[in-house]
Amino acid sequence: MKNIFILLFILAWLGTYAQDSELCYNVIYELSQKKYHGRGYYKDGDIKAASYIKKQYENIGLKPVLDSYFQEFSFPVNTFHGKVLMSVDGEALQAGKDFVMREYSSGIKGEYDLYYVDTTDFNIEMVLSDLEKPENKNSLIVIDFMFFHHNAKELGKFYKSDRPGFIMIWDTPLKFYKAYSSFTVKCAEIWVSPDFPRDAKTVKLNIENKMIDEHKTSNVIGYIEGKTQKDSLFVFTAHFDHIGVLGKKVFFPGANDNASGVAMLIALAEHYAKAENQPDCSMLFIATAGEETGLRGAYNYVENPLLPLKNIKYVINCDMVADNSQDIYVEISESGERGLDLFNNINSKNSYFTKLDLGELAGNSDHFSFAEKNIPAIFFMMKGDGFAIYHTPEDNNNTISLDNFPKLYKLISEFVETY
């Protein structure tokens, strides 16, 4: 009920910018439902989400660039859709809460002794010597993740050994550091919460992974032709894929990451698709697949563009924008710096956010593939309370905040009208 009131407030606040936009704001709720299986690669969750987005494009009045809204492509991906069971000294742990899998981990089955790495008096030679002892030959290595990270050059060699795997202690809430991988390592890597016992003797595991050699999916692309500058193009992007599931029971809704970005994409599309709001420049709306597996959809588009990349005026990428932060995090391509000045001016004039918090350009979302092509691009993300729980089952409809949604909507639309 609270979210319904918030939605009604937002619609009223947006006024003429988003009349009759309730469907667009319901996108964030729709895509978070279990029937999409976390928009991952289980039971075609991402493909079902793509079909839903296509219907929204059709209802709004967007046109496909060519004969289809879908831009198909495929890629390999490692998944954990089978059994995901773990117990320590006979006590069962809960997947998604007490433990998760590293995205490139292999599967593992059996009962194993545990070898705890002494991080207070660490000596790599002593560790290596201990692990060669007969009683430790088949042990899983238990180690603090950050300690491993800082000593990865020395400890990373275990990935190439016959060691069955690692148990890495990570801060809470546990999350998939990265969502999916297109490769696997020989050993298993399991992340556990700080509650993992420091004196356990054995662990029993039955974790199944499956490498899908060629997962087929699609970007969903809609088009609005400009009135006077048809060959000049604004591009709006947001990825719609997410973590999916871990085993048969753990479901990752991905309400903030990134059903929220898709909702913003559709809200903007609905506005500009109306005859009275038809823009001077053309507009392309790209809902990308495969972002969680290395920006696959965005890279597929820039390598196979439906319209010339040289025609792009600006790319605007929204990822995790249903959060309660006072400022908004941005990244900018080198060629997009003039646009950042305009964004800052608009924001200062209207006090939408306390500031645009500029970070270093990184390959963390779909804007990066465009930036590598020297295309003006900006990335928007909010780092509030919801940021701490992205890539966890807690990123759901009850933990998002929509208070900033109309502010970002207006910031973007005013930029498009001015740039």
**Residue 204: pLDDT over 90:** yes
The predicted model gives 96-100 an average pLDDT of 94
Calculate mean pLDDT across residues 317-335. 97
pLDDT band of residue 188 (cuts 50, 70, 90) is very high
| The last residue of a domain, from among 159, 187, 207 | 207
- Residue 96's pLDDT is what? 93
Confidence of residue 31 (pLDDT cuts 50, 70, 90): very high
Per-residue pLDDT at 160:
75
pLDDT at 23: 58
How much of the chain exceeds pLDDT 70, in percent?
94
Looking at per-residue pLDDT, the higher value among 258 and 180 belongs to 258
Please check the confidence at residue 15 and state whether its pLDDT lies above 60: no
What is the predicted pLDDT for the residue at 5? 53
Structure tokens at 387: 């940021």
State pLDDT tens for residues 256-308. 999 999 999 999 999 999 999 999 999 999 999 999 999 999 999 999 999 99
Lowest-confidence region among 9-13, 115-119, 258-262, 322-326: 9-13
CA distance 142 to 140: 6
Tell me what the mean pLDDT of segment 238-248 comes to: 95
- Domain total of the chain: 2
Q: Which residues contact 116 (CB under 8 A, 6 or more apart)?
A: 142, 143, 198
Same domain, 193 and 115: yes
Residue 231 shares a structural domain with residue 138:
no
Instruction: Say which CATH number the domain at 130 has.
Output: 3.50.30
Is 103 found in the same domain as 66? Answer: no
User: Same domain for 288 and 394?
Assistant: yes
pLDDT band, residue 120 (cuts 50/70/90): confident
Q: What is the pLDDT of residue 17?
A: 45
**Same domain for 404 and 280:** yes
How does the average pLDDT of the chain come out, rounded? 91
What letter represents residue 79's amino acid?
T
Asked whether residue 263 falls in the same domain as residue 384, the answer is yes
116 and 156 both lie in a single domain: yes
Rg (the chain; Cα; Å): 23
Q: Do 255 and 374 share a domain, yes or no?
A: yes
* Amino acid identity for residue 68 in this structure: S
pLDDT at 21: 45
**Spatial strand order in the sheet of 188-192:** 91-92, 84-88, 202-207, 108-116, 140-144, 165-169, 188-192, 99-101
pTM above 0.85, yes or no: yes
Domain boundary among 207, 224, 253: 207
Q: Which residue, of 185, 207, 229, is where some domain finishes?
A: 207
Of 301 and 133, more confident: 301
Statement to judge: residues 65 and 99 lie in one domain: no
Please check the confidence at residue 10 and state whether its pLDDT lies above 60.
Answer: no
3-class DSSP assignment, residue 90: coil
The answer to whether residues 369 and 254 belong to one domain is: yes
Reported as a pLDDT band with limits 50, 70 and 90, residue 19 is: very low
**pLDDT at residue 355 is higher than 90:** yes
pLDDT tens-digit map of 75-97: 999 999 999 999 999 999 999 99
Residues 248 and 100 in one domain: no
First to last CA, the chain: 39
Answer whether residue 143 shows pLDDT above 80: yes
- Nearest Cα residue to 27 out of 219, 236, 254: 254
Q: Which of 92-96, 162-166, 213-217 has the lowest mean pLDDT?
A: 162-166
Residue 153 banded pLDDT, cuts 50, 70, 90: confident
Domain match, 278 and 264 both: yes
pLDDT at position 16 over 70: no
Per-residue pLDDT, averaged over 223-240, amounts to 97
The CATH number of whichever domain residue 361 belongs to comes to 3.40.630.10
The CA distance from 343 to 415, in Å, is 6
What range defines the domain where residue 60 resides? Answer: 2-77+213-418
Angle at 182 between CA 55 and CA 330, to 5 degrees: 65
Categorize the per-residue pLDDT at 180 as very low, low, confident or very high, splitting at 50, 70 and 90: confident
Q: What is the pLDDT of residue 142?
A: 95
User: Using DSSP, how many helices (H) and how many strands (E) does the chain show?
Assistant: 11, 18
Mean pLDDT of 161-166: 86
